[in-house]
Amino acid sequence: MKTSKRLKVTTLILVIILITILSFLGVYNIASFKKDNLVKSYQVGMELKGKKVVRLKVDDTVNEVIYDSEGNKVDQKEEGKEYTTAQEPVNNPESLNKENYKKAKKIIEERLSFLEVPEYKLRFNEENGTIEIEMNNDELTNYVISAILQKGEFKMIDDETKETLMDSSYVKSARVVYNTTDSGTTVAYVDIEFNKDGTKKLEELSNVYVKTTEQVVNDEGVAEDKTVEKKVTVQIDDNTIISQSFGEPLKNGHLYISVGQQATTNEELQRYALQASIYASIIQSGAVPFEYAIEQNDYILTNINENIIPIVAIAVLAIETIVFIVIFKLKGIMASVLQIGFVSLLLLILKYTNVCVTMEGIFAIVLASIINFAFIYKVFKNTDSQKAVNENLIDFINKSIPILIVSIIFCFVKLAVVNSFGMTLFWGYVVSLLYNIVFTKGILKNI
């Protein structure tokens, strides 16, 4: 019986040691050139890995515009014709006022929210409209910058006459949807939902802009069928998204625009989905009253990095270990081993659940460690350790329910600092509960 108990205790302690090694030291692939760590890295906020700083200023560019004798704009002059030139600013001076500056800020914030940018700071100067944004620097950053930089004038025009048929005033909302074909490929679409007037207008257009067959007489005098297609062009800032005719009347007020081609890989689908998200965010938020230009686009390194996470954890564990040994003497070593195992497992879980750890998240790690420290302290303080584990587990669950509720609420907050704190504290609660049931109870039961 004693041998069996020793084996169980030894096994649990060895597992704790293994978890600690994986969490703090990792496992390295010595066969690779860079000796990469096989254990996943932390996903961290911009305070811990650097940030992108983008400053947008109201575009003050003045262009030279060429007009022909009839007053039409032309791209270049031709010999033998008369032209006039004029200096015209990119932005109409009448549009540059505080009201439009505030409107532009609101639209850009809506686009950032639509694109679900996890962490950013926005500073706004209402006197000149300058906007400075700090955000994470990752693979999505360039897409985000592209979305916020565009003016975003949405319109549907006649492909031949260039007459504007519909604009953003007819739009109710926009979103990204997906459709899987029979062949197993996936297509990303921008789903534009129109308001009441837009729904009526879209149905009218879908009955006019179609393919038709007409009989014409060719050069030889023979009648033949000819396909005539009237197309609608969808544009954002005069850039064509798609030109198409309608195959059937659209009565439900939704226009689906495919983005890219049929995706056969996750990489392709992600690329098309990101582009569709940019279109949808612009259409959803509306047009900025004027054009912005990038004044600054820098990557700024931070003085601290993700290494602060294990450093803080080790510092907290060192203090807790000293307290345990001073109070419980020899038993304090076992209490310290259990506490080290808990913190190690929590850090490992945070890596593999993709929790974005910010400075607030680090504070939540410390808080979770203190809560678990208090639990182990109460268990070891009781002479009947096995009974103490059962009683304190029930007491822990009862008293920590408010913490669990608060952490769950914070998990659904989009603000990165709040979300990081909530997610970290939530996993701290879950790991503490399961860890103490398996390891603390399992070890003390066999001592």
Q: How many CB atoms lie within 10 A of CB 216?
A: 10
- Residues of the chain with pLDDT > 90, as a percent, come to 40
Q: Which of 300, 322, 357 is the last residue of a domain?
A: 300
**pTM of the shown model:** 0.74
SS (H, E, C) 148-181: HHCCCCEEEEECCCCCEEEEHHHEEEEEEEEEEC
pLDDT at 32: 54
Q: Which of 300, 324, 352 is the last residue of a domain?
A: 300
With cut-offs at 50, 70 and 90, classify the pLDDT of residue 399: confident
DSSP 3-state assignment of 91? coil
**What is the span of the domain harbouring residue 90?**
51-300
Same domain, 13 and 143: no
Which of 62-76, 140-154, 177-191 is the least confident region?
A: 62-76
Same domain, 33 and 142: no
* Span 390-415, average pLDDT: 82
Same domain, 23 and 72: no
Q: Best-predicted range by mean pLDDT among 3-17, 60-74, 381-395?
A: 3-17
Select from 154, 148, 57, 146 the least CA-distant residue to 101: 57
| CATH code of the domain containing 386 | 1.20.1640.10
* Span 186-215, average pLDDT: 89
| Whole-number CA gyration radius for the chain | 32
* Span 232-241, average pLDDT: 89
pLDDT at 33: 55
390 φ, ψ (degrees, to nearest 5): -60, -45
Same domain, 149 and 287: yes
Q: Which of 300, 329, 351 is the last residue of a domain?
A: 300
Q: How many CB atoms lie within 10 A of CB 220?
A: 6
The set of residues, in sequence order, having a beta carbon less than 8 Å from that of 376 and lying 6+ positions away, is 324, 335, 338, 339, 436, 440
pLDDT at 380: 85
pLDDT at 290: 92
pLDDT at 162: 87
The string of DSSP letters for 128-153 reads: T--EEEEEE-STTHHHHHHHHHS---
With cut-offs at 50, 70 and 90, classify the pLDDT of residue 30: low
C-alpha 164/C-alpha 158 separation (Å) is 7
Same domain, 226 and 251: yes
What are the tens digits of pLDDT across the range 165-180?
Answer: 999 899 999 999 988 8
For residue 189, give the H/E element and its range.
Answer: strand 186-194
Same domain, 166 and 307: no
With cut-offs at 50, 70 and 90, classify the pLDDT of residue 101: very high
Same domain, 265 and 221: yes
Same domain, 103 and 140: yes
Same domain, 289 and 310: no
| Number of domains the chain contains | 2
What are the tens digits of pLDDT across the range 206-233?
Answer: 998 888 877 666 667 666 777 778 899 9
pLDDT reading at 321 higher than 90:
yes
Same domain, 325 and 427: yes
Tokens of 227: 């396909």
pLDDT at 142: 85
Tokens of 349: 């879980």
With cut-offs at 50, 70 and 90, classify the pLDDT of residue 36: confident
Same domain, 41 and 96: no
Same domain, 38 and 80: no
